[in-house]
Amino acid sequence: MTDVIVLNGGSSSGKSGIARCLQAVLPDPWLTLGTDTLVDAMPASMQASDAGIEFAPDGQVTVGPEFRTLEAAWIAGVAAMARAGARVIVDEVFLGGADSQKRWQQALGELRVLWVGVRCDSAVAAGREVARGDRVVGMAASQADVVHRGMVYDLEVDTAHAESMECARIIAAHVS
């Protein structure tokens, strides 16, 4: 049985919507945790420090050593929850591409993981970003391609051409 589903895509690509739909269509209960969960749990001072995470006016995101330390602990914690029996959907933005995937692969180890690339045309994601109003404008366009560099997926979906529920059903068909 699949223990963890990792959804990787840029900001406003539709990962969170897919995760909610997966929770609705999968027969067992699944927890959804993601990079937003981690950032929201950090003190505000981490978002104003070059050691933490910074969101530039053009949408670029940079992370520092304190962020990486907390991120490593968080990833280990998510993996521990899966090992303890929780089925987990990870809603992630792999800014480091393949290096980010390697960090997760090491932490998840023997767990059965379904790696899913969530693609979305940068113009479509940018339009969603503006409509949402809760993101730095430019983040979606800057992340649309970089998060997929060097990645190896079991499956890819494209939210510019399919709704969240359709994508969730495609993913669910690959969950054992």
Reading the block at residue 60, the tokens are 């670029």
Catalytic residue numbers, as ranges: 36
Reading the block at residue 126, the tokens are 């940018």
Burial class (CB in 10 A: 0-12, 13-18, 19+), 170: middle
Burial class (CB in 10 A: 0-12, 13-18, 19+), 176: exposed
In one-letter notation, the amino acid at residue 43 is P
Answer for the pair 111, 82: CB distance below 8 angstroms, yes or no: yes
Answer for the pair 150, 8: CB distance below 8 angstroms, yes or no: no
In our burial notation (b when 16+ CB lie closer than 10 A, e otherwise), range 7-37 reads bbbbbbbbbbbbbebbbeebeeebbbbbbee
